[in-house]
Chain A
Amino acid sequence: MTTPLVEMKNISIHFGGIKAVDDVSIDLQPGEVVGLLGHNGAGKSTLIKILSGAYRATDGEIRVAGTPVTIDSPRDARTHGIETIYQTLALADNLDAAGNIFLGREIMTPWGTLDDGAMEQAARQVMKRLNPNFVRFKEPVRNLSGGQRQSVAIARALQFNARILIMDEPCAALGPQETRQVGDLVKRLKAEGIGIFLISHDLHDVFDLSDRVTVMKNGRVVGTCTTDSVSKDDVLGMIILGKLPSQLSSRDRELLQ
């Protein structure tokens, strides 16, 4: 196996006395899509927020391309090429598309002022790739449709050459056509060698896109399987029962160790 893009080893986080994530290890290869599944409250969003810098792990180690790193803030995560598209999209509704795409990473003029022209130009370019029909660059994103807002959030992640992309419930607020668009995008990014974590409580959203799925329950990993060795029903059983299906191949059992 090649060096994983990212490894999270024995990660735990406590909020007061509650263990939201308890001794969890996951990893991601270049060009691989890993689905992270589980009920609401299973700990998947918390785990991923540790990787994206929103929370700090109580215990455990994160390695990016084999090197141990500390991720104390969203800024740290971004310097390691980790970009996150949050379920809520995390857009400032009163800013326009370019303002959101470059939020926290503005392009500045040599005089240290905001270079809105350059940012709008870059935004137009990246949006052309994602959503060629998009023309409403001068409007606050509040006025955009769900799909358009989603494109802005994705554009923000792509603008900065992400190597590791985290998508939290990417299809939760989308119609069938937009869900398909997200699916196409995932395949395209995967082909570019980007590693993607897809987080969802809905198996059907991610199963067909994922190479592997990891199921979590009550803050722990139930199991990780390659999607071509299990059926949707097996994974559904893992999500609901919190147990591995009995007919798992030995290779998958090995992966769990």
Chain B
Amino acid sequence: MDTASDTGLVVERRGIGGFFDALELDTRLVAMLAALAVIWVGFDVITGGIFLTPRNLWNLSVQTSVVGILATGMVLVIVARHIDLSVGSVLGFLSMVVAVLQVQYFPLGASWNWIVTVLCGLALGFCIGSFQGWWIAYRGVPAFIVTLGGLLVFRGLAWWVTYGTTVAPLDQTFQLLGGGINGSIGATWTWVVGLAGIAAMAFRTVTRRRRRAAMGFPVRALWAEIVVFAVLAAAIVGFVLVMNAYTRPRTDQSQGIPIPVLILIGVVLAMSWLVRSTRFGRYVWAIGGNPEAALLAGINVRRITLFIFGLVGLLAGLAGSVQTARLNAGASSTGELLELSVIAAAVIGGTSLGGGAGTISGAVLGALIMQSLQSGMVLVALPTPMQNIVIGAVLVVAVWLDNVYQRRRR
């Protein structure tokens, strides 16, 4: 998008290039959407039309939610030049704690049970994350080491909670968090959510445009604004239609948006707000861009670092609750190797391991791409070792392509 020359003059391009310039899109995001489209259509052709069915897409969205929730937090970690290898183990440990509290300590069947256990999971997650963050920020141990230790420690603790015994079944209401047969909001509420989303987007576009115009800043061309808005609104309507097209087994009742996906949407909105509109978010990016400059600007780098890891712990509590609810069981192996999917999702989504660059929406798209590949390979019955080979290769090639693109741009 950056066609401005080094003299400070903005060169206007014509034709198709000019059309895309005027839209002021994030090229990387567009490229990822294109990659996603290729994967979807490709698998649909190979599987003879099974991939692009409401049922498969609905399942795909549920499968994406756990990795997606964690990837939004991993973006902040990687942007601030750290890494978190412990998310899978922490999630496993929290999942065990939530399950055990629910079944063995609190009365199963009490209406408040699931809320309290989830809150306990979130709080404990925040504490665990902050504790690891403290070692990193205040004790100067590299994040790689601290969280590598955490990977072992919390997997061990997850086993310790019940000496490896699986805890099941769980609270009926709690199970809805994982999707499942009744864990979606139905046709009407899906439309309400979709239309509310479109209305909020319209409101934001209009107010933003008015404000920029009032301050005398350059604004996007009106037709470009409308095109972008129309495409996004169409995407939301499409999502609503697909989610509603999948019906509950042996009925014609629409499933609608699954609750875990609703949670993911909420997390994405909250994290995007945190990143774009708060001091904390701004400082995380500043630390990633130039840690020394951040210090010299008077930013408390240590406190921010601690809070980043605390936040990831909190998200691990949330994602752990979703995963546990989906399995309807607390098992000490929950979330094994999950950290790798999460890091891969963030990196495929354009988060730079050098720090300072990354987006929340990109990471979620990255998670969706990873999950699409995995789910597609299952549908074409590729053996598991082959799946790993493909995922590994895709990760390396994606990062290489991104590097090439970054170098071209400059």
Contact = CB atoms under 8 A, between A and B. Distances in A.
Interface of A: 52-54, 73-75, 78, 84, 86, 88, 90-95, 99, 103-106, 108, 112-114, 117, 120-121, 124, 133-136, 139-140, 143, 145, 148
B8 A136 contact: yes
A117 B208 CA distance: 9
25 contacts: A53-B298, A74-B296, A88-B292, A90-B292, A90-B296, A91-B293, A92-B285, A92-B289, A92-B293, A93-B356, A94-B286, A94-B289, A94-B357, A95-B285, A95-B286, A95-B289, A103-B297, A103-B299, A105-B298, A112-B278, A114-B278, A120-B215, A121-B215, A135-B4, A143-B410
A226 to B, nearest CB: 32
B299 to A, nearest CB: 6
Q: How large is the interface on B (under 10, 10 to 19, 20 to 34, 35 or more residues)?
A: 20 to 34
A74 B293 contact: no
Interface of B: 2, 4, 6, 8-10, 211-212, 215, 217, 276-279, 282, 285-286, 288-290, 292-299, 356-357, 410
A134 B8 contact: yes
B10 A135 contact: yes
A133 B289 contact: no
Contacts of B292: 88, 90
Contact of A75 (B2, B4, B298): B298
Given A86-B296, A92-B290, A99-B286, 7 more contacts: A91-B293, A117-B212, A117-B215, A117-B217, A133-B8, A139-B4, A145-B6
Contacts of A78: 298
Which of B212, B278, B282 counts the most A-chain CB atoms under 10 A from its CB?
B282
A239 to B, nearest CB: 27
B338 to A, nearest CB: 28
A93 B290 contact: yes
A73 B289 contact: no
A117 B211 contact: yes
B282 A114 contact: yes
A134 B295 CA distance: 27
